Structure 1
């Protein structure tokens, strides 16, 4: 069992607790494969044989992920848990205080001070302000993430390790990540590559665990598409709370990719902002404390008064853009002859590298 003991998971199954305080798990219990409701740990079985399973898809010939919140055995998949949909708190101060208590308790519970993936945004700054592990940021020269991380580290009076990416890193990282994640989608790889490259350096420096701020954007309304609901074509929901729920539902597939990428780099991810108590606090937020046209992650920003104001109110770019990796990824593809006018030029570039054609 990954993330918890079998006895603890068995109790959660018997009680029907979707958020039982275990903070994620996956594995075999009483002859069934089970995975927590948010999918914080990946788990696969052979598509035609659920008795053959692994945490690593590379161990299987036709890996089929266990759906989050489900159990699987030879009779098929059974849904055990559904993420709660509680009524939001009416009192704003209570909502913010609940978020603050959950975030502080979850981050402070991290032991052994693992290394921290640090971009200078509010999510990773929460970790850096409360944990003592070394800070790592990655990007190409002149990237937004490196500049933002430097200024935030200075504001927090922390030393920063900068991992400067190269084209060679992209070219060697692509086949490693295709093998580790089973994905050739360019967007997946552009997101995973910065994490993988930073994690490689942290592992080489002797760190076996890497703390990340994963989940905060999904839980607390960090995306423009959430603030623009229902007018954004990228979401089906007609409310901000509904749009947040949609993005939370996207987490299992994202986490599967990221965990597999980080493990391939030699570290185990630590994600305190995806603890059960943080998830519970986020699910209680009304739409006006999630996102508006003018501000995102409103409750989280107000809850983290221990951060300097310049960090609390800072916007952040997605990692593939903030690190400039997406730009250089495209540049390498075009140099290799895969022009933008070609259909799926980036995926064709990925497939050529993964096949060893370059």
Structure 2
């Protein structure tokens, strides 16, 4: 079992508690369960899928945290269990046992207090030993860095990229040393096949997002660190997306309210986190994501819409939590999505076009990605 003790997971299963005070978990659990009406060995995965887990239908007892270790790997969906069958047993299906709670909105003071207590408590609880911080200069990664004051900070991107400049400004304001990992085109061409192998994904967006994560983690591992602390989850939980701020007028969300749109983007986390965790592990580090701890998730789910975003300012409650902890300019800083802020998306597109995959072609970057894998 990764991420939590078997006893805690078993208790969460019996109680139905989707947020039992962990940072996510997955693995094999041998239990006697009244909830499932049967005993045996089960695969379990937490409600947000913070720990990826896979099984193979063709191999009755086969499972792994790494899909490359299985023939025909299938992901166990977040919040599900699946009984492992014996060699001569009947096949089983995955069963959903946890779903995210839908609490009513807290009043403003209680909501802000809950977010501040949860966020600051969890970033300060990160184990600082052998840990580095992925640092882009935005409020998310700056809060993580503030919780681990002695950890080195790393930023990755092409020369002149937004992320590098923003990280330099924020690091100076916070009095932190910053390690800059500058990409080259050769780095992208080398890393793409490794990312595809680790994640099983060749679509352009996933690869563009994974590239800066992989390359910064690769440097962190080479420098001797075992863990990389990241700010993942903040945009989804705290109203960081334009499509949430523009709800219900943005065609990218179905919800009629900011709170509803936030739940929509939170529901995308299992798919995103699988990609990110597998990418970071392939590069040689284990991720630490304190802003995705159950305590933070529970606090975020209770936020009223106007403390998520007011249409102009985003991640309002998170910025309020940063008051007095971060310099004002850093707490207020906006950030770009990592694939754009690092220029990974722009430069992968440029490489694709240079290789003859023109923009008029369908999925030209994805075709280029697949060519790099095939020609390796």
Tell me the TM-score normalized by structure 2.
0.93
Deviations 1:16-41 (A, max 9, x none): 11000022100011211000001000
Counterpart of 2:10?
10
Rounded Cα–Cα distance in structure 1 between residues aligned with 2:327 and 2:6: 42
Counterpart of 1:41?
51
Counterpart of 2:88?
none
Match of 1:341 among 360, 365, 368: 360
296-305 or 41-50: bigger deviation: 41-50
Match of 2:81 among 60, 71, 81: 71
Q: How does 1:1-358 map to 2 (within 5 A)?
A: 1-30=1-30, 31-49=41-59, 51-73=61-83, 74-90=91-107, 92-113=108-129, 114-131=131-148, 132-305=150-323, 306-356=325-375
Please say if residues 23 and 289 of structure 2, whose CA atoms lie closer than 8 Å, have aligned partners that are also in contact: no
**C-alpha displacement of 1:343:** 1.2
**C-alpha displacement of 1:5:** 1.9
**C-alpha displacement of 1:49:** 3.9
Deviations 1:129-183 (A, max 9, x none): 2212100000001000000000000000000000000000110111000000000
- The 1:50/1:27 distance shift into structure 2, 3 A limit, reads farther
Rounded Cα–Cα distance in structure 2 between residues aligned with 1:86 and 1:153: 37
298-307 or 157-166: bigger deviation: 298-307
- The 1:81/1:50 distance shift into structure 2, 3 A limit, reads farther
Rounded Cα–Cα distance in structure 2 between residues aligned with 1:252 and 1:140: 28
- The 1:87/1:50 distance shift into structure 2, 3 A limit, reads farther
Rounded Cα–Cα distance in structure 2 between residues aligned with 1:301 and 1:188: 28
Please say if residues 126 and 147 of structure 2, whose CA atoms lie closer than 8 Å, have aligned partners that are also in contact: no
Structure 2 gaps, min length 5 = 31-40, 84-90
Q: Secondary structure at the match of 1:34?
A: strand
Number of aligned positions between the proteins: 356
Deviations 1:167-218 (A, max 9, x none): 0011011100000000001100000110000000000000000000000000
Please say if residues 50 and 72 of structure 1, whose CA atoms lie closer than 8 Å, have aligned partners that are also in contact: no
Counterpart of 2:87?
none
**C-alpha displacement of 1:50:** 5.1
Please say if residues 206 and 275 of structure 2, whose CA atoms lie closer than 8 Å, have aligned partners that are also in contact: yes
**C-alpha displacement of 1:112:** 2.7
**Aligned-pair Cα RMSD in Å:** 1.0
Rounded Cα–Cα distance in structure 2 between residues aligned with 1:210 and 1:50: 34
Rounded Cα–Cα distance in structure 1 between residues aligned with 2:117 and 2:8: 24
**C-alpha displacement of 1:94:** 1.8
**C-alpha displacement of 1:293:** 1.6
**C-alpha displacement of 1:251:** 0.2
